[in-house]
Amino acid sequence: MTAPFWTEGDPIADRAAPDGPIETRWERRKFAAKLVNPANRRKLTVIVIGTGLAGGSAAATLAEAGYRVRSYCYQDSPRRAHSIAAQGGINAAKNYRNDGDSIYRLFYDTVKGGDFRARESNVYRLAQVSVNIIDQCVAQGVPFAREYGGLLDNRSFGGTQVSRTFYARGQTGQQLLLGAYQAMERQIGLGNIEMFARHEMLELIVVDGRARGVVVRDLVTGEVSTDVADAVVLASGGYGNVFFLSTNAKGCNVTATWRAHRKGALFANPCYTQIHPTCIPESGTHQSKLTLMSESLRNDGRVWVPRRAEDCGKPAADIPEEDRDYYLERIYPSFGNLVPRDIASRAAKNVCDEGRGVGPGGLGVYLDFADAIQRLGRKAVEAKYGNLFEMYQRITGEDPYEVPMRIYPAVHYTMGGLWVDYDLQSTIPGLFVVGEANFSDHGANRLGASALMQGLADGYFVLPNTINHYLAAGPFDAVSPEDPAVVEARAQVEDRLARLLAVDGDRTVDSFHRELGHIMWEYCGMERTDEGLTKAIGLIRGLRDDFWTRVKVPGTGEQLNQNLEKAGRVADFFELAELMCIDALHRAESAGGHFRAESQTPDGEALRHDDEFSYVAAWEYGEVPTLHKEDLTFEYVHPSTRSYK
């Protein structure tokens, strides 16, 4: 008999969240949190890993508050973090449209959209803080889209019936990130932030049970060094690149959070991944990444496939209206093309599985703007989506004004991440986790335009108000470079780098990464089964052993060595991949982005099992991982079956 994949440990609970009326919980937490007097803040140092929306805004805000900040990113400049690629927009409960929106409605939509697998307290706070984010960004000069009267424009976005999404054409993430980046650069100029670009965190330093520093590698010189501080903030993003092909930037990786996990931080809900419905399909084996087309396109584009499989080879224009199946409008008449991402993605997979997909390999569906162009005119469509259409044409060589776009789902976002309490503190005291790197607010499925909201909420408003409570007990005892914990962490990094270089096998890092991605997409992608996941765990273990005996990493560790960087990241992806499959295997229900084929309604919709699975699965690292359950209770939004029909 094979060993069990996991064991169950004690339950855990979020002890930082106040109870009582949800509307005042955040106010009360802020008031109860200890403060640090301004003179003492200068004596406290915070390390921030990552410079995206969460890390950039956190670093800038902590520095403005008077803390000493040291910030690290693997890119050549903090402005390049992958938040920059977010296209569509950012939600906020401003109700500028007078269309019935409110903090409560944004809270309600987000809890429901997350398929009742997120904490009510956190989500309510997110909705509250959302309004401040827009104010903050406008003050920084973020050029949001405006109307002729000079006021901000809004649009509705996947999965909601109100217009609460603020946007800057198709480049909202870029503009928001530049706002945070510029605030950060100002603090760098003032000497309050020390910035280390082209540096990668490879290990967490834990001294006497507290997170006290990191081991980093200078990617240019290869030098490995240690940095100690009073607290560490991880803002290192999500782990979608475990699938090799995803919409993430090529460098996005799980190493920072995984290393922290190995040092004791619990990893929550790793199986919750978001497959985005509107990406440009794969064009061949050379494919190195996938490109997302903003789902704002679904506001005006209509999704369809041929009614009959035999029509799939025909040009779209030769398929008459009556032979087209606008399947989202047909199956979900009230939400139509605007159903949430998980539902749109699975529906696309289903029609392709039926043999009705279009384009190379039959892995695509049409997103058609012919009606919108007729209704609004080409100019209006161009004003709204011009840059997205250009991007599509540049990549595919096809003109979407003339022929419908082809789209297919791709991995886009990971809802899982390090477990944090209401203060955004992980299970390691002094280790805080913000943005996509934590698991906190999106439950099993994230709504469109909510990632930017969460990243900035965490960085600008939440963390700077909760980290004080921890730092008020500092400055902590100085940590010497000879401290055994520091020496050990550093040795772990050096040993691993040496091992990767020493294998000198016959396969490239990318070839392993690609194969791992295939396994994950096949068995831990849009549809998961007990049998498939069990098989995947075996395949991953085999491939991982192969990796450590056959990988070929050229060059040395004392230079810019991009393959060495990749090898370390892929090695961590192997370990994460196994935990993702175990988490997906243990969760024998369908919820949000996690669809278990064994758990569906007679008409093929996701079937949750609230009696058994209404909890956060927080995993402790070990040879055999240990599951700690955090029960979720719903006092305000009563769990119901999500229906978009």
User: Active-site residues: which are they?
Assistant: 341
140 CB contacts (<8 Å, ≥6 apart)? 179, 182, 183
- Contact present, 47 and 229 (Cβ < 8 Å): yes
Query: With respect to other proteins, which residue has the nearer C-beta, 355 or 554?
Result: 554
Q: Compute the distance between CA of residue 244 and CA of residue 287 in angstroms, rounded to an integer.
A: 10
H helical segments located in 332-418: 341-353, 370-376, 378-396
Task: Report the nearest approach of other proteins to the CB of residue 54 (Å).
Answer: 13
Q: Kind of pairing, strands 90-91 and 165-166?
A: antiparallel
Query: With respect to other proteins, which residue has the nearer C-beta, 128 or 590?
Result: 128
The DSSP letter of residue 594 is B
Query: With respect to other proteins, which residue has the nearer C-beta, 11 or 143?
Result: 143
Task: Report the nearest approach of other proteins to the CB of residue 201 (Å).
Answer: 17
Task: Report the nearest approach of other proteins to the CB of residue 524 (Å).
Answer: 24
Task: Report the nearest approach of other proteins to the CB of residue 313 (Å).
Answer: 19
52 CB contacts (<8 Å, ≥6 apart)? 81, 82, 83, 84, 177, 235, 237, 435, 436, 455
Query: With respect to other proteins, which residue has the nearer C-beta, 79 or 628?
Result: 79
Query: With respect to other proteins, which residue has the nearer C-beta, 559 or 641?
Result: 559
Task: Report the nearest approach of other proteins to the CB of residue 134 (Å).
Answer: 5
Query: With respect to other proteins, which residue has the nearer C-beta, 106 or 343?
Result: 106
Q: Compute the distance between CA of residue 551 and CA of residue 569 in angstroms, rounded to an integer.
A: 13
List the one residue out of 581, 585, 579, 615 whose CA is nearest residue 597: 585
Query: With respect to other proteins, which residue has the nearer C-beta, 160 or 192?
Result: 192
Query: With respect to other proteins, which residue has the nearer C-beta, 24 or 287?
Result: 287
Q: Compute the distance between CA of residue 21 and CA of residue 398 in angstroms, rounded to an integer.
A: 54
Q: Compute the distance between CA of residue 576 and CA of residue 538 in angstroms, rounded to an integer.
A: 14
Q: Compute the distance between CA of residue 393 and CA of residue 401 in angstroms, rounded to an integer.
A: 10
Q: Compute the distance between CA of residue 499 and CA of residue 225 in angstroms, rounded to an integer.
A: 18
Query: With respect to other proteins, which residue has the nearer C-beta, 175 or 273?
Result: 175
List the one residue out of 234, 232, 237 whose CA is nearest residue 250: 237
Phi, psi of 301 (to 5 degrees): -85, 150
Query: With respect to other proteins, which residue has the nearer C-beta, 268 or 456?
Result: 456
Distance of CA 71 to the CA centre of its chain: 20
Query: With respect to other proteins, which residue has the nearer C-beta, 195 or 339?
Result: 195
- Hey, how many other C-beta atoms are within 10 angstroms of the C-beta on 288? 9
Rg (CA), the chain: 24
The 3-state secondary structure of 11-47 reads CCCCCCCCCCCHHHHHHHHHHHCCCCCHHHHCCCEEE
Task: Report the nearest approach of other proteins to the CB of residue 10 (Å).
Answer: 38
What is the torsional sign of CA 498, 501, 505, 509? Answer: positive
Find tokens 């909420």 and name the residue. 457
Q: Compute the distance between CA of residue 221 and CA of residue 180 in angstroms, rounded to an integer.
A: 28
253 CB contacts (<8 Å, ≥6 apart)? 236, 239, 241, 569, 572, 573
10 Å CB burial of residue 499 (0-12, 13-18, 19+) is: middle
What is the torsional sign of CA 13, 15, 19, 23? Answer: negative
Question: What length is written for the chain?
Answer: 645
* Residues forming beta bridges with residue 627, ordered by sequence position: 8, 619
Q: Compute the distance between CA of residue 145 and CA of residue 154 in angstroms, rounded to an integer.
A: 8
